[in-house]
Structure 1
């Protein structure tokens, strides 16, 4: 990316170990495109997971890739400056004054007039600025009785009651489309579909009127007769096909009739007339070219349906006295009813049938369709206001939020100055009498933890839950205080988000790093004490288990335990212990003798030197880690592209993690009724130990 030379005098401040540009004036905004990108703190950031207005980020994300990049920042700044009469408005309190909108070009004029309409609709006084919240209630800005450019027509847009009824009928049969005002209306597509369905239903009814004699062989009883016919059509077709197969091959008759073994299953149970096993049998006995009897010899499960067919279909069409049905007559009856059935199958599948034929004819004869299409065209012609309203919202949000984003993108001034939290700081975590201010949301803790340790910070990952909310994951950096015995998975704390809501936080992972030089100094001794304590516990546990097992064994077999005692082995153990104590005493005596060989004032120096020798490696490692401690890897792990090493030195780290302190002027009572009583043996034992060490040293040195 190339940069231009500029005469603008930039001002820089130094925080976090690097120079950051100050963005304080309108001139800084106007010349931001001339600032070398190497001097920018960030090169891109995500549009989600930030304590920042997501709508503003969405308006800035021109390519929709979920990232805000340097060109998009410059584009937003340049566009805002062009749309304002004075770019210094960007640094004012949130709110866009009408007079600050530039009318230098057509886009500016459109935004200005849109702002005028908004102020008129919402009755905002002329001397008050437009706020972002004024533009979020579309039901007030897009009134149902005003064209709003979305191509959706609501009944309120016309005063014609007949046309309003037509719109309501379209919505009821086609479904409504959401209008910008919040109500439901119709569009060109729904109007076209509605009239197309009206015409289809009218044509369908016209076919009935033109072919009524063919379609209705039984006049007004045709529909009921067809319903009875369709109940038995498949079963009668099955019967005649079976008889035709029997005629084709006489050997098929036995197989086409039910096997006698099928009746065995019916012999020992109660049989109902409508039993499914009975209904599955043929209508009658199968024989070659046999007619279907309509009275006797009919499957009992089908007698009612056959009787209904005879009375409502066969007798009216074939004759009053009809006792059996042959295949030719059945085909004749099927053909006579086919026209009605085909007409019914062609019935348009639409809800406009509910309007009735008279209303359908009335609508098709009216000019409502033309009127609605004209209203839709008029509404679409007013789309300029909607477009300008979007631009007005964009400008208002940029005025409120863009400078804040610059102070967290071009610089980290919000993070280092401490007047307000940075947009990547999610809130405050309270844990073990300390508050952590450097807390970030984490979408993928496992992926984040793979890169975050390069920050050099002591990190605590937590899962936060709150009733009625989706759980969130956070990471907190502990940059002050003692952490040697602090964090283990399962510890609980409280997380307060930027809205002041409290979440229950549970520690899930810890990335241990040095926090301070003093902590590193005592770290070896604490590790040694922890090691000794663990070994003592292991030894005591093993001895206790051994004694318990031996006790159980001796209780089970006393004679066996008694006989297994080996006095020689027991003496050997005591000899080994004596040798170890002797060696330890000799070493201790040598150390004490060496100390007594020094002048009295040299002894503290030697002791301090020994302690320093033990702690120096830990202190050196802590020093190197604290020097490279920076926030960059934490952000990079969240999808940022940090362009510098944003350091967290010791003083700044102390401000990011607060430890518990009594309030100024507080009074404290040192009387603790439950304090442990001092042991009377502690001082005598110490004196005995010092006397013994002194004697050993004197004896070793002077003997």
Structure 2
């Protein structure tokens, strides 16, 4: 029997049906020339047949659960490019000699797999060698997906930098299943770090914005913010007491309120106590910073004195007048306006000193090179 193919086919009859006999690699390579009217079937399910399911899934390019002639022909073309002689496919077996592989990427990938399994001297690669892909990829430093994990780095500093990037931006899952980063993550990290550093540099260079330096002014502003509502409340009450002495008793808490909390187990952080004024209200009275203050606010007022009052107004102050408080607010006002425009970045959690250290260390170039090395192996692993 013949077809319009330029290839000479041999047929055999089984059950009254003529079927093509695949005698050698040439028959397989010429399958695209065989009239599809002579094919036994034009579609085959990937399940429920005596055929390896994983192989069927690889051939089923559109993943519709059925294999059709174009997919079979595409698989043959791939095999033709991969092997020196398609006759080896007919021989069967569970291993392939390295010498039989034609495609350079596949050959390199096979050798890399064998090396990861500590079988560098092997002359063939078996199905068992490549079945446990998780194990193979877990033990391979580079795996061609353009993602590197911390353990990819042999340099401790580079490894720590990769961990920092993952901590800041989250991970990209490597083929090994471990968390890693790719070039996009590295670029994002570097861009955000530069943006934050540039913003901070502006403040550091302007003493009107950061009179105590960046960290010192930030600490002072935080200490002020922690007590601002209560300090404003205290001076407002003192002004009202100066306006009308009759209000003094009402501005301080009533005895009955103390009796209510006195009947309970007291804690200096109890909500009832923290709601009382910072100190006893008197007309135009300065705010004490240490003695005779509301015990629920003693720690916060001490922090205010240490972080803001002493460095900004001078040492030795044990109390604040309302004018002192206004001056204190003015000294950090520009800083607070400036920080309101602080760029929102995910890398801030790493800390500015660490970000600047990374920028100067040269690890970014080393990380980029590792990613490049990994991505260069894509052809070996995507087979």
Q: Deviations over 1:271-300 (max 9, x none)?
A: 44443212223446789x965643898545
Partner Cα distance (1:143, 1:266) in 2: 65
Question: Bigger relative contact order, structure 1 or 2, given CA contacts below 8 A and separation 6+?
Answer: 2
Partner Cα distance (1:307, 1:112) in 2: 70
Change in Cα spacing, 1:55 to 1:342, as seen in structure 2 (3 Å) is: farther
Q: Does the CA-based 8 Å contact 1:202-1:360 persist in structure 2?
A: no
> Which of 311, 321, 325 is 1:330 aligned to?
325
Residue 68, structure 1, aligned to residue 66, structure 2: yes
> Which of 229, 235, 244 is 2:230 aligned to?
235
> Which of 273, 277, 281 is 2:276 aligned to?
281
Partner Cα distance (1:217, 1:343) in 2: 15
Q: Deviations over 1:171-208 (max 9, x none)?
A: 13113766668888764334434544554565466456
Residue 79, structure 1, aligned to residue 80, structure 2: no
> Which of 20, 25, 41 is 2:22 aligned to?
25
Q: Deviations over 1:627-679 (max 9, x none)?
A: xxxxxxxxxxxxxxxxxxxxxxxxxxxxxxxxxxxxxxxxxxxxxxxxxxxxx
Q: Does the CA-based 8 Å contact 1:202-1:361 persist in structure 2?
A: no
Change in Cα spacing, 1:284 to 1:206, as seen in structure 2 (3 Å) is: same
State how 1:53-132 maps to structure 2 within 5 Å. 53-65=52-64, 67-71=65-69, 74-75=72-73, 78-79=76-77, 82-83=80-81, 85-87=85-87, 89-90=89-90, 92-98=92-98, 109-110=103-104, 113-114=107-108, 117=111, 121=115, 122-123=119-120, 126=123, 128=124, 130-132=125-127
**3-state SS in 2 of match to 1:151:** coil
Partner Cα distance (2:75, 2:365) in 1: 46
Partner Cα distance (1:149, 1:219) in 2: 43
Partner Cα distance (2:280, 2:61) in 1: 79
Residue 302, structure 1, aligned to residue 302, structure 2: no
Using the TM superposition, give the Cα deviation of residue 236 of structure 1 relative to its aligned residue in structure 2, in angstroms. Answer: 1.9
State how 1:285-364 maps to structure 2 within 5 Å. 293-294=287-288, 299=294, 301-302=296-297, 305-306=300-301, 309=304, 313-314=308-309, 317=313, 320=316, 325-326=321-322, 328-338=323-333, 346=342, 349-351=348-350, 353=352, 355=354, 359-360=357-358, 362-363=360-361
Change in Cα spacing, 1:260 to 1:45, as seen in structure 2 (3 Å) is: farther
Residue 188, structure 1, aligned to residue 183, structure 2: yes
Partner Cα distance (1:212, 1:293) in 2: 28
Q: Does the CA-based 8 Å contact 2:113-2:130 persist in structure 1?
A: no
Change in Cα spacing, 1:77 to 1:227, as seen in structure 2 (3 Å) is: closer
Using the TM superposition, give the Cα deviation of residue 349 of structure 1 relative to its aligned residue in structure 2, in angstroms. Answer: 0.9
Change in Cα spacing, 1:70 to 1:343, as seen in structure 2 (3 Å) is: same
Q: Does the CA-based 8 Å contact 1:228-1:308 persist in structure 2?
A: yes
Residue 170, structure 1, aligned to residue 161, structure 2: yes
Q: Aligned residue for 2:380? A: 385
Q: Aligned residue for 1:36? A: 37
Using the TM superposition, give the Cα deviation of residue 124 of structure 1 relative to its aligned residue in structure 2, in angstroms. Answer: 5.5
Change in Cα spacing, 1:51 to 1:257, as seen in structure 2 (3 Å) is: farther
Change in Cα spacing, 1:219 to 1:77, as seen in structure 2 (3 Å) is: closer
Q: Aligned residue for 1:698? A: none
Using the TM superposition, give the Cα deviation of residue 329 of structure 1 relative to its aligned residue in structure 2, in angstroms. Answer: 3.4
State how 1:477-492 maps to structure 2 within 5 Å. none
Change in Cα spacing, 1:338 to 1:261, as seen in structure 2 (3 Å) is: same
Partner Cα distance (1:360, 1:217) in 2: 25
Using the TM superposition, give the Cα deviation of residue 318 of structure 1 relative to its aligned residue in structure 2, in angstroms. Answer: 7.1
Q: Aligned residue for 1:45? A: 45
Give unmatched runs, 5+ long, in structure 1: 102-107, 391-703
Q: Deviations over 1:349-386 (max 9, x none)?
A: 142657486x44642xx5x6456545654654454333
Change in Cα spacing, 1:50 to 1:185, as seen in structure 2 (3 Å) is: same
Normalising by structure 2, we get a TM-score of: 0.63
Partner Cα distance (2:59, 2:368) in 1: 36
Q: Does the CA-based 8 Å contact 2:60-2:66 persist in structure 1?
A: yes
Change in Cα spacing, 1:337 to 1:70, as seen in structure 2 (3 Å) is: same
Q: Does the CA-based 8 Å contact 2:358-2:364 persist in structure 1?
A: no
Q: Does the CA-based 8 Å contact 2:46-2:53 persist in structure 1?
A: no
Partner Cα distance (1:337, 1:264) in 2: 40
Change in Cα spacing, 1:78 to 1:13, as seen in structure 2 (3 Å) is: same
Q: Does the CA-based 8 Å contact 1:217-1:337 persist in structure 2?
A: no
Change in Cα spacing, 1:292 to 1:303, as seen in structure 2 (3 Å) is: farther
Q: Does the CA-based 8 Å contact 1:315-1:322 persist in structure 2?
A: no
Partner Cα distance (1:246, 1:71) in 2: 95
Q: Does the CA-based 8 Å contact 1:150-1:380 persist in structure 2?
A: yes
Normalising by structure 1, we get a TM-score of: 0.39
Change in Cα spacing, 1:332 to 1:64, as seen in structure 2 (3 Å) is: farther
Give unmatched runs, 5+ long, in structure 2: none
Q: Does the CA-based 8 Å contact 1:12-1:22 persist in structure 2?
A: yes
Q: Does the CA-based 8 Å contact 1:25-1:91 persist in structure 2?
A: no
Q: Bigger radius of gyration, 1 or 2?
A: 1
Q: Does the CA-based 8 Å contact 2:43-2:69 persist in structure 1?
A: no
Q: Does the CA-based 8 Å contact 1:62-1:72 persist in structure 2?
A: no
Q: Deviations over 1:546-588 (max 9, x none)?
A: xxxxxxxxxxxxxxxxxxxxxxxxxxxxxxxxxxxxxxxxxxx
**3-state SS in 1 of match to 2:66:** strand
Partner Cα distance (1:311, 1:77) in 2: 75
